[in-house]
Structure 1
Amino acid sequence: MARITGAVRVLDPVKAIGSVAFLAPLLTVYIPLSMAIVLPVGAVLLLTCRRINGLSPFRFDWPVVVVLTGFLIVAALSVLWSHSPALSLDKLSRTTMAMIAGLVFITALKGLDGEVANRVSSCFLAGMGIALVLIIAERLAGGLMLRIEADKTQNMFINQFNRPLAILSILIWPAVVILAQQRRVWGIGAIALFVCILLAFSSGAAAAAIGAGAVVFTAVYIFPRMGAIVVGIGLAAGILLAPAIDSQMPAPKQIFESIDLPRSAYHRLLIWEFATARIDERPILGWGLNTSRAIPGGQKNLDVSEKALPLHPHNAALQWRLELGILGSLFGAALFLVSTEMARRYAAGRVARAGAVAAIVSTSAIAMLSFGAWQTWWVSSIFLIAGFTILVCRRRSPG
């Protein structure tokens, strides 16, 4: 009996889950790749807390389960025709484990009652606040903590925060919801502070994410029902039409020369053009999971130093279609459509609904501009973001 009592005391839901909610934003600042560890640890803690403390029944949201399972089935089948089966198998196992941990994490967080959920949300908000303070301090000090690790140039310091700013540009939305539900001006102030932080860095993806999120937050707040529906349909259509949209754009060189595009953005356009051409070679089944880095011609320079496809297309919609074919695009579109519909149905009021949909749109912006679709730390980050957004925005029973 004493051992059981001790276990309950140690694994108090607020302490255990609150620690994950508090630490996740902080770890994002300095060790964003650690999200691949934070997610399974959080999932195990949540499961253990539920078992010991007898929390509410464990109920999956089956539309999400069906979409993610479909994704994994298509990914597994793609090994049969993969251009590089070894690369596909290696990524399949890690992606499967991340998705299972992610489903457990978001489902368990969804089941927290009112009092526990409120206190864990406060832990998350505290972590976000300190994370923003740390980034401001690092910028003012020129990367003091980073320089302790190694001698880094200014450009390396700025680039070091691309991942953290990308994640925080999404996590800011559940924080805004918490603050705006207290006083609207606090939510506006949080966004204004984050925009000021972005101005001191050069993360175009984070800027696009926060800009798109702000527009959508406003639209869904004004039109709570139709706004979320339109956003969901728009995101799904964009994913399905991504190859066609890219093929209709002017040549990257023309855009680069006509509007003085940054070299990095020009490289993105070259990569997307190359990926679209390779999609046309295998339009139905794709090249196989995680084969972007092995696509023929991918290591060829298309310009001075711009490789055709260094690692991945830096665009989830194109990567899904390139690697998994039509079914990859369909399940990707379904994922965003289901997510926005669940935000519309289950959010706790206008502010929560607007914040949840804004987080989805900001996630889409980062996914379409930055990271590889199957990078384990990024997949884990998405599930953590989804969990915290559900925790803050979903209707729940009073505790």
Structure 2
Amino acid sequence: MRPVAGAERKTTWLCAVAVFTIALVPLVGYLAPLGFAPLLALCGLLAIPGLARPRPASPPAMALLVLVIWALVSLAWSPGAPNPGDLKDGDALESVTGLKLLFQLALYGSAIAALRGLSEPSARRVATVLAIGVLALALLVALDGISGASFYQWLRTVIHDPIRPDLAVVKVSIATYALALLFWPTARIMSGRGWTPAAFVLLGAVIIGSLALSADASWAALVFGFVAFGAVKLYGKMAARLLVPAVAAPFVLGPVMLLWGVHSGLVNWLHRHVPRSWDARLDIWAFTADHVQTHAIRGWGLDASRTFGAAIPLHTHNASMQLWLELGAIGAALGGIFFSWVAYRIVGLTEESREDGAIAAGALVTYLTIGGLSFGVWQEWWLALGALTVIAFDISRKD
């Protein structure tokens, strides 16, 4: 028993950091989803003492580091690069996406690496907090979705910051993206403890919330995630191996596929059959694919997506296409290497435990699906959610 007790003492601080971080997930997820970025950054900062010794950078971390360096280099020709004369204070520096990416890589990476060292007793405590918190958030979002976000509107009124009903729905809907990702590790915890009915309640709440709040990308991502989960669960390593080229394909062929869709008439056909929001996405993707050809190798430069006016409102709503547009084939290749390596690791994980491999496959496909339909690839809170999902998955495996 002494080694266990000793290991537990060594992770007391990490356990406190993990509990603090996970306990805030429901509050941040419902009230201020953008707060996932500072929450994970703080977690990474607090977890630094838990990094017992320097560790060699892992292959995916190296791919991300090279990607960030290339993004910084691309500022030399980017029309979205900040004016050096304006970078005189902290607020201006905060607008430099490349610098923020460096800090995020360091702090989110610190959080993942340190919390991976949690002892099993500590991980079980954190897992309990995660399961209860995520289920509570899912139920709140589902009920508020059904009511048209009336509770959220009431809260805003109480703090003397009223909000329009339609904007309230949009604000609450953002929580469904966190729920779609955290569903996978949370469901694993629940099923492992024999709380299977709670896992089904969680799934139902996430789906109801997504549908009621018109968060199409959330429920679509869950559908694709379940396809990947079911395939790996049923067919094991064979399905996991197929996940690698499936993940790599958008990063390799994204612009080619879009241009083929335009020239074949498929995109025009889709324009006539999809809702307005998806129709707008088709226009953005077609425009992006066309402009990728101008600077196919180097890209237009970091944050160039923001400089095309109404043709691309802020970003491309597709991670691989944004990488192609801003960082060219080099950036898309680095992004593809990272996610392909993650998919390749799932093959080995499936060999150890088919259940863990299936859960990881479901989470990865859910993240990539949402990233392929919504949000900018550099959005801090979205990157933080990816890191949080990895942490939650590691915790669920020790539960």
TM-score by length of 2: 0.86
- Correspondent of 2:322 among 319, 324, 328: 319
Map 1:224-235 → 2, pairs under 5 A: 224-235=236-247
Structure 1 position 189, deviation (Å): 4.3
CA-to-aligned-CA distance 1:201-251 (integer Å, 9 cap, x gap): 201110111111111111111122122221122111122111111111136
Structure 1 position 337, deviation (Å): 1.0
Distance 1:375 1:242, change over 3 A: same
- Correspondent of 1:289 among 277, 285, 302: 302
CA-to-aligned-CA distance 1:166-215 (integer Å, 9 cap, x gap): 12111111111111223384444432332233232201110111111111
Map 1:79-158 → 2, pairs under 5 A: 79-86=75-82, 90-141=96-147, 142-149=149-156, 150-158=161-169
Single out whichever of 379-388 and 352-361 deviates more from structure 2.
379-388
CA-to-aligned-CA distance 1:108-159 (integer Å, 9 cap, x gap): 1212121111211221112101211221342354422333324434322221
Map 1:1-399 → 2, pairs under 5 A: 12-48=13-49, 50=50, 59=55, 62-86=58-82, 90-141=96-147, 142-149=149-156, 150-183=161-194, 185-186=196-197, 187-249=199-261, 250=265, 252-257=267-272, 259=273, 261-294=274-307, 298-299=308-309, 307-346=310-349, 349-393=353-397
Instruction: Give yes or no for contact 2:97–2:303 (8 Å, CA) kept in 1.
Output: yes
Structure 1 position 352, deviation (Å): 1.8
CA-to-aligned-CA distance 1:7-45 (integer Å, 9 cap, x gap): x99964333321211212431121001011101111122
Q: Residues of 2 paired with 1:145 and 1:371: CA distance?
A: 23
Distance 1:352 1:253, change over 3 A: same
Instruction: Give yes or no for contact 2:176–2:206 (8 Å, CA) kept in 1.
Output: no
Counterpart of 1:256, as a letter, is H
Instruction: Give yes or no for contact 2:143–2:209 (8 Å, CA) kept in 1.
Output: no
- Residue identity over aligned pairs, in percent, reads 25
Q: Residues of 2 paired with 1:355 and 1:68: CA distance?
A: 23
Distance 1:216 1:144, change over 3 A: same
Instruction: Give yes or no for contact 1:60–1:107 (8 Å, CA) kept in 2.
Output: no
Structure 1 position 61, deviation (Å): 5.8
Structure 1 position 371, deviation (Å): 0.4
Q: Residues of 2 paired with 1:159 and 1:248: CA distance?
A: 33
Distance 1:340 1:281, change over 3 A: same
**SS of the counterpart of 1:80?**
coil
Q: Residues of 1 paired with 2:164 and 2:286: CA distance?
A: 32
Single out whichever of 382-391 and 153-162 deviates more from structure 2.
153-162
Structure 1 position 60, deviation (Å): 5.5
Counterpart of 1:213, as a letter, is G
Q: Residues of 2 paired with 1:9 and 1:116: CA distance?
A: 10
Instruction: Give yes or no for contact 2:252–2:333 (8 Å, CA) kept in 1.
Output: yes
Structure 1 position 321, deviation (Å): 0.6
Structure 1 position 57, deviation (Å): 5.2
Counterpart of 1:192, as a letter, is G
Instruction: Give yes or no for contact 1:61–1:107 (8 Å, CA) kept in 2.
Output: no
CA-to-aligned-CA distance 1:69-91 (integer Å, 9 cap, x gap): 12112112212222333289811
**SS of the counterpart of 2:131?**
helix
Q: Residues of 2 paired with 1:223 and 1:239: CA distance?
A: 25
Counterpart of 2:315, as a letter, is H
Counterpart of 2:33, as a letter, is P
Output the aligned Cα RMSD: 2.5
Instruction: Give yes or no for contact 2:284–2:312 (8 Å, CA) kept in 1.
Output: yes
Q: Residues of 2 paired with 1:90 and 1:38: CA distance?
A: 20
Single out whichever of 88-97 and 370-379 deviates more from structure 2.
88-97
Aligned length: 371
Counterpart of 1:374, as a letter, is W
